[in-house]
Structure 1
Amino acid sequence: MLSRRTFAASIAALVTAPLLSACGGDSDAATGTGGSDTKKVGNINIGPDQNRVRGKKVDEIAALVPASVRERGTLKLGQSADASPPLGFYATDDKTRIGSEIDLATLVADTLGLKLDNEEVSWENLFVGLDSGKFDAVFSNVTVTEERKEKYDFATYRLDNIAFEAKKGVDWTVKEPKDVAGKTIAVSSGTNQEKILVDWSKQNEDAGLKPVDIKYYQKDTDYYLALQSGRIDAYLGPSPSAAYHVSSAGQTEVVGTLSGAGDKLQGKIAATTKKDSGLVDAYAAAIDHVIENGQYAEVLKRWGLTTEAVEKSEINPPGLPKTES
Structure 2
Amino acid sequence: MRTPPARVFAAPALLLLAAAVACGAEPTVQSPAGAAPKVSGKAINLGPEQNRIRAEKVAAIAAKVPKDIAADGKLAVGFNGEGTPPLVFPATDDTTVIGVETDIAQLVADVLGLELAPETTSWENLFLAAKSGKYEAVFNNVTVTEERKDIYDFATYRIDQLAWQVAANSPIKKIAQAADIAGLRVSVGAGTNQEKVLLDWDRQNKAAGRKAAEILYYEKYGDVMLALRSGRVQAYFGPNPTLAYNVAVSGDSRLVGTFSGAGPDLQGLIAAMTKKDNGLVGPLQEALATVIKNGKYAQVLDRWGLANEAIPRSEINPPGLPRQTP
TM-score (norm 1): 0.78
Letter in 2 for 1:85: P
Q: 1:30 aligns with which of 33, 42, 48?
A: 42
Aligned ranges 1:194-205 → 2 under 5 Å = 194-205=195-206
2:262 touches 2:320 (CA, 8 Å); kept in 1? no
2:288 maps to 1:295? no
Q: Aligned equivalents of 2:144 and 2:225: distance in 1?
A: 30
Aligned ranges 1:120-269 → 2 under 5 Å = 120-168=120-168, 172-189=173-190, 191-228=192-229, 232-269=233-270
State the shift of 1:183 in Å.
Answer: 4.1
Letter in 1 for 2:187: A
Letter in 2 for 1:302: R
* Equivalent position SS for 1:72: coil
Q: Which deviations, in whole Å up to 9, do the C-alpha atoms of 1:62-105 show, x marking residues without a partner? A: 23323454453221222233322222121121211112211110
The change in CA–CA distance for 1:226 and 1:76 in structure 2 (over 3 A counts) is closer
Q: Aligned equivalents of 2:76 and 2:92: distance in 1?
A: 25
* Equivalent position SS for 1:297: helix
Q: Aligned equivalents of 2:217 and 2:150: distance in 1?
A: 35
2:39 touches 2:249 (CA, 8 Å); kept in 1? no
- Give the count of matched residue pairs: 300
2:290 maps to 1:271? no
Backbone CA RMSD of aligned residues: 3.2
Aligned ranges 1:110-125 → 2 under 5 Å = 110-125=110-125
Q: 1:46: which partner in 2?
A: 46
Letter in 2 for 1:159: I
Q: Aligned equivalents of 1:191 and 1:124: distance in 2?
A: 12
Q: Aligned equivalents of 2:209 and 2:98: distance in 1?
A: 47
Q: 2:316: which partner in 1?
A: 315
2:58 maps to 1:58? yes
The change in CA–CA distance for 1:248 and 1:302 in structure 2 (over 3 A counts) is farther
My pick for the range that moved more, 275-284 or 57-66, is 57-66
Q: 1:39: which partner in 2?
A: none
State the shift of 1:128 in Å.
Answer: 3.8
Which residues of structure 2 form unaligned runs of 5+? 4-28
The change in CA–CA distance for 1:278 and 1:172 in structure 2 (over 3 A counts) is same
State the shift of 1:288 in Å.
Answer: 1.4
The change in CA–CA distance for 1:133 and 1:207 in structure 2 (over 3 A counts) is closer
Q: Which deviations, in whole Å up to 9, do the C-alpha atoms of 1:159-186 show, x marking residues without a partner? A: 2332101244877222222333454433
State the shift of 1:251 in Å.
Answer: 2.8
1:23 touches 1:249 (CA, 8 Å); kept in 2? no
Q: Aligned equivalents of 2:179 and 2:199: distance in 1?
A: 13
Q: Aligned equivalents of 1:12 and 1:135: distance in 2?
A: 28
Letter in 2 for 1:203: Q
Between the aligned residues of both structures, percent identity stands at 52
State the shift of 1:315 in Å.
Answer: 0.3
State the shift of 1:215 in Å.
Answer: 4.3
2:30 touches 2:85 (CA, 8 Å); kept in 1? no
Letter in 1 for 2:173: W
The change in CA–CA distance for 1:119 and 1:177 in structure 2 (over 3 A counts) is same
Q: Aligned equivalents of 1:219 and 1:208: distance in 2?
A: 33
Q: 1:11 aligns with which of 14, 20, 30?
A: 30
Q: Aligned equivalents of 1:87 and 1:25: distance in 2?
A: 15
* Equivalent position SS for 1:49: coil
TM-score (norm 2): 0.78
State the shift of 1:156 in Å.
Answer: 0.9
More helix by share: 1
Q: 2:26: which partner in 1?
A: none
Q: 2:287: which partner in 1?
A: 286
Q: 1:7: which partner in 2?
A: none
State the shift of 1:313 in Å.
Answer: 0.9
State the shift of 1:197 in Å.
Answer: 2.4
1:247 touches 1:304 (CA, 8 Å); kept in 2? no
Q: Aligned equivalents of 2:200 and 2:147: distance in 1?
A: 23
